[in-house]
Amino acid sequence: MGYKEHFNVRPADLPAPPQAAMQILRACARKEVNNKQLAELAAQDPVLSTELLRIVNSAYFNMPSDIKSVNRAVSILGQRALRNLVLCISVRDSVRHNALPDFDIGGFWEDTLRHAVAARLLAEQTGLDADECFTAGLLQDFSLLVMCFIQPAKAKSWEDLRKLDPEQRYQREQQVFGITHDNLLQLLCQTWSLPEELSNVLGSHHNCNTEQLNDKGTSMCQVLYLGDWMTAVFTARATGECLRRYQFLADRLIGLKQEQADACLAAMPEQVERSAETLGLNISQQPEFEDILTQANKRLAEENMSYQELTWKLESALAEQDRLSAALDQELQIAREIQTGLLPAQQDPSFPVSGYNQSAHELSGDFYDYFKLPDGRIYFNLGDVSGKGITAALMMAKTSSLFRCLGKNETNPARLLATISSELAETMVRGMFVTLTCGLYDPANDQLKLVNAGHPPALLIADQGEVKQLGASGPPLGIMPDCQYEIETLALNDARLYLFSDGLIEGEYAPGKVLGVSGLAKLLHKLHDREADELINILFSQFMTQSDTLKDDITLVMLENRTPNA
């Protein structure tokens, strides 16, 4: 994974090793370098060479006699060991002079050494290069420290992170820092010119099965991952859980029986202290493994008990949730049936009005209606309630009922809407409102009276393609009493009148495209020779294929003169 994917970290933000160390790391990455050249590079930096010699002469390396020159040290240790040593010193020194306030650096080194020591102990069990694993372990958490430097305000969260188990910690890192330690490690390896093999191992130790790795790489990965769990036994809150997980993983990943796995853990405290001494790091005295184990077993018993309790509670909560959600589903189903029942029944083909509604959710805030008056005139409407769900459905039911009930005695559609608006305004809550267009059509003389209350314009589209938009003459219904609306009187002739909800002009008709009013007008004209049912099917299937779920309800009403002599 390249650093470009991590927008919050730039290579320039990362700490760099001292120049001489960097040169040694680069030189070691080349095959043709010889010991003399390496020694010369080290000699450029007196601090580095003194430190190298001090470590080489420490009890850890157990040299028969004092080593007095870097040249000699390199020839005894070999280039790999030299590189590891230089890396250890660089990691240590990259932060020493930049202490973060509020950051427990001693605690951090303790954990870092635990990782390193754990990796070395496991390497010895699996036949991997122990020093190389030690170095890799030392780097394992280094990126976290770097993260704390880049985002110092979040440095404090390290204390919480170390109390989590490795998997929880991994997820939390992403949340806190926006990057996980393995990804940042890869970036760091690039900046520090570390071998690709090491970079791959460090970058994948939470995902050991990646194809990037060869067999040795996979083994190292597993060792580092196990090292995470070993460290967690000493630091995490859920000590018992981590111990159990480590024992399980040690067996499954590298075939370590519990006795051997425990022996590795038991060896950690002393080795951590020795490594700290060798590297010149100050850490507090390490607790004995027996104490940790006693505590872990005690916690395990407690955790087991509380896990059981938690499982029971969770099971009963889930059952209750299932029961409630089934009850709610049933209620919604009934509400949906009632709502569908409020829409008018299909009429015979000679009836001039057709309508269609497709709901985005169980319940719709859109509605339409049409009904015949005793004198043969036909009232029709299409409305849209602001808001969604049950509240919108209830308002839809009320508005639609008012229209049907009052419409039978009020044949002035402007007055009808004014009355409905006042009635709704009396009881409307939360600023809800209803946009609605209605019409009264007389098939006998082809006369149409249309009123629009805050709704998107109705479209009158003539056979030849001429489009007339009929916009609102007053505000939506329910906002305030005593609104005034105006009637538009017109003849249909060969034109079709379309009322529609905003789902048709704002919803996705083609990927990323919305129609808008003029787009819808064009489309409707293209389909003007289709029968109403066919047109509606074509239009709606297009919206439905854009996504499995509609975002908004879509509703359409069409009016045309269908008298035989028209």
Among 314, 327, 480, 510, which residue sits at the site for another protein (rule: CB under 8 A)?
480
The region of 76-84, 129-137, 450-458, 518-526 touching another protein under the rule CB under 8 A is 450-458
476 lines the binding site for another protein (CB under 8 A): yes
Rank residues 161 and 382 by Cβ distance to another protein and give the closer one. Answer: 382
Asked whether the beta carbons of 117 and 222 are under 8 A apart, the reply is: no
Span near another protein by CB under 8 A; candidates 77-85, 140-148, 156-164, 469-477: 469-477
Placement of tokens 């409102």 in the chain: 433
472 counts as binding another protein under rule CB under 8 A:
yes
Name the segment binding another protein (CB under 8 A); options: 57-65, 159-167, 374-382, 468-476: 468-476
We find the least distance from the C-beta atom of residue 452 to another protein, in angstroms, to be 8
How many residues of this chain bind another protein (CB under 8 A)? 22
Kindly identify the residues of this chain, within the stretch 354-413, that bind another protein according to CB under 8 A: 384, 386-388
Indicate if the alpha-carbon torsion angle 343, 344, 347, 353 is positive or negative: negative
Binding residues among 71-110 for another protein as defined by CB under 8 A: none
Q: Return d(Cα 143, Cα 186) in angstroms, integer.
A: 9
If one asks whether residue 352 binds another protein (CB under 8 A), the answer comes out as no
Instruction: Please select the residue that binds another protein; options are 337, 348, 430, 464, rule is CB under 8 A.
Output: 430
183: left (phi over 0), alpha (psi -120 to 50) or beta: alpha
Contact 93, 105 (CB under 8 A): no
> Rounded to 5 degrees, what angle do the CA atoms 435, 436, 439 make?
165
- Of 209-238, binders to another protein (CB under 8 A) are none
Options 49-57, 350-358, 448-456, 521-529: segment touching another protein (CB under 8 A): 448-456
**512 contacts another protein (rule: CB under 8 A):** no
Question: What is the distance between the alpha carbons of residues 263 and 426, in angstroms, rounded to a whole number?
Answer: 79
- Other Cβ atoms less than 10 A from the Cβ of 440: the count is 23
Among 17, 456, 503, 507, binds another protein (CB under 8 A): 456
CA distances from residue 326 to 12, 25, 322, 340, 423 in whole angstroms, order as listed: 56, 64, 6, 21, 36
CB of 195 to another protein, least distance (A): 49
- Beta-ladder partners of 362: none
Whether the Cβ atoms of residue 386 and residue 360 lie closer than 8 Å to each other: no
Q: Does 519 bind another protein (CB under 8 A)?
A: no
Answer for which of 101, 341, 374, 431 binds another protein (CB under 8 A) is 431
Distance CA 212, CA 229 (A): 23
Q: Which is nearer to another protein, 72 or 388 (CB)?
A: 388
Considering the rule CB under 8 A, would residue 475 count as an interface residue with another protein?
Answer: yes
Closest among 23, 168, 125 to 83, alpha carbons compared: 23
Rounded to 10 degrees, the C-alpha dihedral 479/480/481/482 comes to: -100
Q: Which is nearer to another protein, 211 or 482 (CB)?
A: 482
Residue 473 lies near another protein (rule: CB under 8 A): yes
CB of 490 to another protein, least distance (A): 20
Stretch that binds another protein, among 16-24, 311-319, 432-440, 518-526 (CB under 8 A): 432-440
Strand partners, 370: 380
Q: Are 91 and 149 in contact (CB under 8 A)?
A: no
Q: 416 in helix, strand or coil?
A: helix
Asked whether position 538 contacts another protein by CB under 8 A, the answer is: no
Of 341 and 512, which CB lies nearer to another protein in the complex structure? Answer: 512
Under DSSP, is residue 379 helix (H, G, I), strand (E, B) or coil?
A: strand
Place of tokens 């409305």: 383
Choose the binding region for another protein from 184-192, 197-205, 315-323, 471-479 (rule: CB under 8 A).
Answer: 471-479
Parallel/antiparallel/unpaired status of strands 447-453 and 434-442: antiparallel
Instruction: Decide whether 41 or 417 has the Cβ nearer to another protein.
Output: 417
Question: Which one of residues 74, 147, 198, 479 is an interface residue with another protein (CB under 8 A)?
Answer: 479
Indicate the DSSP class of residue 351: S
Among 108-116, 195-203, 470-478, 542-550, the segment contacting another protein (CB under 8 A): 470-478
Q: Which of 433, 441, 498, 543 binds another protein (CB under 8 A)?
A: 433
* Residues sharing a CB contact under 8 Å with residue 555, sequence separation 6 or more, in sequence order: 355, 356, 357, 358, 364, 366, 367, 368, 382, 384, 500, 501, 503, 504
Q: Does 183 bind another protein (CB under 8 A)?
A: no
User: Which range in 80-88, 229-237, 266-274, 466-474 contacts another protein by CB under 8 A?
Assistant: 466-474
Backbone angles phi, psi at 47, to 5 degrees: -65, -45
Q: Is residue 471 at the binding interface for another protein, with CB under 8 A as the rule?
A: yes
Instruction: Give min distance, CB of 362 to another protein, in A.
Output: 17
539 and 527 in contact (C-beta within 8 Å)?
A: yes
Pick from 278, 358, 435, 561: which binds another protein (CB under 8 A)? 435
- One residue of 120, 169, 455, 496 binding another protein per CB under 8 A: 455
Orientation of helix 181-191 relative to helix 142-150, angle to 10°:
90
Q: Which is nearer to another protein, 419 or 473 (CB)?
A: 473
454 binds another protein (CB under 8 A): yes
Query: In the complex, which residues of this chain contact another protein (CB under 8 A)?
Result: 384, 386-388, 430-433, 435, 453-457, 471-476, 479-480
